Amino acid sequence: MNFKNEVWVFIEQRNGKPADVSLELLCKGYKLAKAMNGSLKSVVIGSNVKGIAEETFKYGADEALLIDHPSLKNFRTLPYSRILNDLIKSQVPRIVLFGATITGRDLAPRVASFTKSGLTADCTDLQISDVKYLGKDYHNLLLQIRPAFGGNIIATIITPDVPTQMATVREGVMELVPLEKPNEIKIKEIEYKPDPVDDLVKIIEQHREENKVNLKAAPIIVAGGYGLGTKENFKLVEELAHTIGGEVAGSRAAVDAGFVSPERQVGQTGVTVRPKLYIAVGISGAIQHRAGMQESNKIIAINTDPEAPIFEIAHYGIVGDAMEILPEFIEVYKHKLK
């Protein structure tokens, strides 16, 4: 089959601003498009969002598809998926990327189902490669790479026999690198034709708080794991973070146990961070967690188990009881930096 090799990124927006993850995906999409001599298109749906479409050219878009209409102001599954279904059916992009946000995880599967595309959730890397699969050669396939099954393995997923390959990616996984010189703006406006189906689900009210936690921007992160045992013990993590001017984070197990709030989860299904210093306390270091922090500049691991995988990627390893080490750390720090 011959394909146009177009990479599309669904640009999620709210309150007139594009989501960070969408811009990060443009940066990755730019590289993927380059790798197969294709082009990158942003798909912007909303109300008064021309400015957002223009912004996508800073991150590598060659063209923006703009669907702008007052009734599209807030994301709703039915109109948004209907628009994407029509566009994908008629223009057959080779790749479509979505942020693995609540919106992306609601929208992408619906669209993948309609267009019978393959879809891989929560990828931690995407690459273009020729692939030999079951004796057949495939040119320029999208490798969708993600940890799987409890994290003991990394799986590379492909969707060889469908025209459109889709993937979702969490915020922070791909790096945000604007082009040195933005691409020339080329916006294609597409008319929205309302349909009664679009209004089967109505938004009655909406409440949002701007996310006060910004782990991605924190130079120092102190993260606690399930190994801390109790929420009470987890407070020492907070105290250390407070003392050294860092943000508090947690592993998925710590979030599931209620030690720390979900927006502070680091890892494959949380946020990916690259701070100057990452202190992992009582975190064993499953691949899903490491996927979210292994590119940190310096990693300190504190764990009672000398065999914990976290030590394999740590720059500094401390084997011992966090309940004793953290108070000592805090005291020594205060003494040194008084």
Closer residue to other proteins (CB): 116 or 181: 116
Q: Which is nearer to other proteins, 188 or 297 (CB)?
A: 297
Q: Which of 47, 77, 140, 233 binds other proteins (CB under 8 A)?
A: 77
CB 265 within 8 A of CB 250: yes
Distance, in Å, from the CA atom of 91 to the CA atom of 284, rounded to the nearest integer, reads: 46
81 is an interface residue for other proteins by CB under 8 A: yes
Q: Which of residues 137-196 bind other proteins (CB under 8 A)?
A: 143-144, 147-162
Q: Answer yes or no whether residue 89 interacts with other proteins by CB under 8 A.
A: no
The amino acid that residue 107 corresponds to is L
> Cβ 287 to other proteins, closest distance in Å?
5
Is residue 131 near other proteins by the rule CB under 8 A? yes
Burial letters for 49-72: b for 16+ Cβ neighbours within 10 Å, e otherwise?
beebbbbbbbbbbbbbbbbbbeeb
Interface region with other proteins, contact rule CB under 8 A, candidates 23-31, 42-50, 64-72, 292-300: 292-300
Nearer to other proteins, 8 or 57 (CB): 8
Query: Which of 275, 234, 279 is CA-nearest to residue 255?
Result: 234
Smallest distance from the beta carbon of 59 to other proteins, in angstroms?
A: 20
Report helix angle 77-91 to 102-115, nearest 10: 50
Out of 35, 179, 185, 318, the residue judged to bind other proteins by CB under 8 A: 318
Size, binding site for other proteins by CB under 8 A: 87
C-beta of 39 vs 268, nearer to other proteins: 268
Pair 26, 60: CB distance under 8 Å: yes
Q: Is the dihedral of CA 256, 258, 260, 261 positive or negative?
A: positive
CB of 207 vs other proteins, minimal distance in Å: 5
* Secondary structure of residue 12 in the 3-state scheme: coil
Binding other proteins by CB under 8 A: which of 17, 189, 195, 332? 332
Site for other proteins in 95-114 (CB under 8 A): 101-103, 105-110, 112-114
Any residues with CB less than 8 A from the CB of 18 and at least 6 apart, and which?
11, 12, 52, 55, 56
The minimum distance between CB 97 and other proteins, in angstroms, equals: 15
Binding mask 207-236 for other proteins (x = CB under 8 A): xxxxx-------xx----------------
Residues 6 or more apart whose CB falls under 8 angstroms from that of 42 comprise: 8, 9, 11, 22, 26, 53, 56, 61, 63, 64, 65
Q: Which two tokens stand for residue 329?
A: 């750390």
- The SS3 assignment for 42 reads strand
Tell which one of 206, 230, 232, 307 touches other proteins (CB under 8 A): 206
User: What is the smallest separation between the CB atom of 310 and other proteins, expressed in angstroms?
Assistant: 10
Owner of token pair 């994407």: 84
CB of 332 to other proteins, least distance (A): 5
